[in-house]
Structure 1
């Protein structure tokens, strides 16, 4: 109990301290190169390749947090005619460039990609800017066609290291107020373009490149997951002195005085999280004096009812199967927490008193981490309780165990709820 409270208090204190400093890098540089494809307008008879190798862009990005940011990028390239394969086109050579300010959304963090991969991510981006289309051939060669641009795209990411990521990108660029066709062979007029001044130019780019992350933090915002922050030895040392007094336990019941609502609990008494003596069956006899903790009975029989063994078996079976008896674990651990081992001993005593029944140990994990890892962790937890029952003298033929993976019935955003999910339960058969 003390260890659990100590960990919770230190995590809270460190979280407050983390707000005063950056937990992740926010700046990155982006370099990409690849293909382009002008869609329209093109003069009739002029064709472009499906994939024209000839686009490069550079960008600088700043993330406000793990999910949202913005970037400034500059892209340039050229278009040429399609040749060969029966798709002959008149020659053209057109240069272009653009400068855009864009908003960025980190879909990897928004949609919790970490649940299946820590190395794959995805960004969505979109924004506006200015550009120029400059034909080098045909009627309007050397004409500088100033346009405004709108851009939208998606960028898959593959993390290579904490400082570099391999990225691909597919973007649509819309040019507004474009005066000439991409081939430079014809003029766009209001009459030929339904009023003319809309986003009358459309092109695509597909690129491959690298993101370089800048800063001194361990990870960039693209990959930072708040739940992965662990305290260093120095951070623990700086926090522990401030909470030692809070952990004083005058009556030795495992609950610190500042949380204890029953300051003079008798020695050896079982208590709840508020330090109040437990009376699980509500019969007026506290658990530490009750020889039948989950069966109400008078004080004259030490809290046990006067009834047949068969009824006792049925009552205890219900108490165990309804989840009142559990063994709990720390985060990412298969070692039972000391205060909950008594639950395993209770089940062992029940089996010894009732040789005609068997039990299945069911292991569970919280929803943090990969699902396949949590399946194996939950099985190790169930196996640990199985070993306790065997060591207590229960025949192995009466015990089975299985890991059931993540308990999705609890609120995974709550630390207290996740603690309840990290458990081994029992089913009497």
Structure 2
């Protein structure tokens, strides 16, 4: 039992020690946080090869879509306007975050049912709003696209989902009570920007890459206000007075708005590429393409072979070998008997002798 307990305690230590054997610090490579490759580069700001910050601006129309008083009334559209500016941070090539400020004004119409509606006529209302929100950005094109490195990639489909706070002012006028009781009417609401005006939004955008610095985008967002009074119908749902119960026209407790905007994104940074247009596999595809189309020529002796001994000058230890001399792998002329006379000039290759006797022993005659 003691042996089993000893092994149970020793094995994890042994495995951990083996895993840590090549680690000298978290900032050195390879280590246990890398794949073990000797060419792992630390990923920090100096290693970045793309930009990931941008500023976006845009504007377009604002329409009260699902509410008691709507921008779509009697077959006509009551146009409003909308504008936004945002600071964008791309987290990965498929996901980013934006801090956005938006403002605008919507125009809507509605009519009370029954005799009250006939008397009051069609009510006119408007909503002026200001919004601060945090929006998540999913790049569907980077998730789904195939890269072949042969066709330009300039279009991208984005999905947006976010939440924030809004402040707004509303005003409603009709032909009945708003003209006869000025202390109470016209109906108006002044909602301050704060936690009580929390809202959600989501939508889609289609981006076009104009250049490495600018993107053009068509974006549509659906805003769920969560407020009954956002359309200008007053701050009460059922007032007990049918002459002012505009919030009972439709069975809804959240007035929702639709915005359609055309915008520009200005990409910030010194690099040629932005992370929202970057695919991590592009470099792999590029290197494969280079290898597939590389020339089959193999360059030997890039620095040449000046003494023509068959050993490249890159690693030749004797660059002035006499012509015709046999050499070793380092380009040094052979001297088999190590007498100081290379074999090319040695008359007695296997027997050492002085240089004066052409490498032969003194008592051995040589022929010249």
Q: TM-score, normalised by structure 2?
A: 0.52
2:293 match: 333
Corresponding position: 1:188 with 2:237: yes
Q: Quick one: distance in 2 between partners of 1:336 and 1:44?
A: 70
Q: Quick one: structure 1 residues 101 and 140, their matched pair in 2 at CA, closer, same or farther if it must change by over 3 Å?
A: farther
Q: Quick one: distance in 1 between partners of 2:157 and 2:258?
A: 19
**Contact 1:121–1:222 (8 Å) recurs in 2:** no
Q: Quick one: distance in 1 between partners of 2:78 and 2:146?
A: 31
Corresponding position: 1:97 with 2:147: no
Residue from 88, 93, 98 that aligns with 1:61: 88
Q: What is the count of residue pairs matched by the alignment?
A: 224
Q: Which moved further from structure 2: 51-60 or 147-156? A: 51-60
Give the secondary-structure state (helix, strand or coil) at the position aligned to 1:91. strand
**Contact 2:99–2:135 (8 Å) recurs in 1:** yes
Q: Quick one: structure 1 residues 149 and 114, their matched pair in 2 at CA, closer, same or farther if it must change by over 3 Å?
A: farther
Give the drift of 1:141.
Answer: 4.7
**Contact 2:69–2:108 (8 Å) recurs in 1:** no
2:103 match: 76
**Contact 1:40–1:182 (8 Å) recurs in 2:** no
Q: Quick one: distance in 1 between partners of 2:278 and 2:289?
A: 26
Give the drift of 1:92.
Answer: 2.3
Q: Quick one: distance in 1 between partners of 2:72 and 2:209?
A: 41
**Unaligned stretches of 5+ in structure 1?**
1-11, 231-327, 339-429
Give the secondary-structure state (helix, strand or coil) at the position aligned to 1:183. coil
Corresponding position: 1:144 with 2:190: yes
1:157 match: 207
Q: Quick one: distance in 2 between partners of 1:166 and 1:51?
A: 26
Q: Quick one: distance in 2 between partners of 1:45 and 1:170?
A: 16
Q: Quick one: distance in 1 between partners of 2:139 and 2:132?
A: 22
**Contact 2:228–2:253 (8 Å) recurs in 1:** no
**Contact 2:103–2:130 (8 Å) recurs in 1:** yes
Q: Quick one: structure 1 residues 336 and 167, their matched pair in 2 at CA, closer, same or farther if it must change by over 3 Å?
A: same
1:412 match: none
Q: Quick one: structure 1 residues 89 and 47, their matched pair in 2 at CA, closer, same or farther if it must change by over 3 Å?
A: farther
- Residues 321-352 of structure 1 deviation map (CA, whole Å, 9 limit, x = unaligned): xxxxxxx98535175577xxxxxxxxxxxxxx
Which of the two has greater helix per residue? 1
Give the secondary-structure state (helix, strand or coil) at the position aligned to 2:123. coil
**Contact 2:63–2:107 (8 Å) recurs in 1:** no
Residue from 214, 218, 230 that aligns with 2:272: 218
2:5 match: none
Q: Quick one: structure 1 residues 189 and 131, their matched pair in 2 at CA, closer, same or farther if it must change by over 3 Å?
A: farther
Residue from 19, 37, 52 that aligns with 1:26: 52
1:263 match: none
Give the drift of 1:91.
Answer: 2.6
Give the drift of 1:51.
Answer: 6.6
Q: Quick one: structure 1 residues 157 and 181, their matched pair in 2 at CA, closer, same or farther if it must change by over 3 Å?
A: closer
- Residues 21-67 of structure 1 deviation map (CA, whole Å, 9 limit, x = unaligned): 22211111111111121123224999395472411111111111211
Corresponding position: 1:167 with 2:217: yes
**Contact 1:94–1:137 (8 Å) recurs in 2:** no
Give the secondary-structure state (helix, strand or coil) at the position aligned to 2:47. coil
- Residues 45-96 of structure 1 deviation map (CA, whole Å, 9 limit, x = unaligned): 993954724111111111112111211111111112479xxxx953322212
Give the drift of 1:227.
Answer: 3.9
**Contact 2:71–2:109 (8 Å) recurs in 1:** no
Q: Which has the higher contact order (CA 8 A, sep 6+)?
A: 2
Q: TM-score, normalised by structure 1?
A: 0.45
Q: Quick one: distance in 2 between partners of 1:137 and 1:199?
A: 18
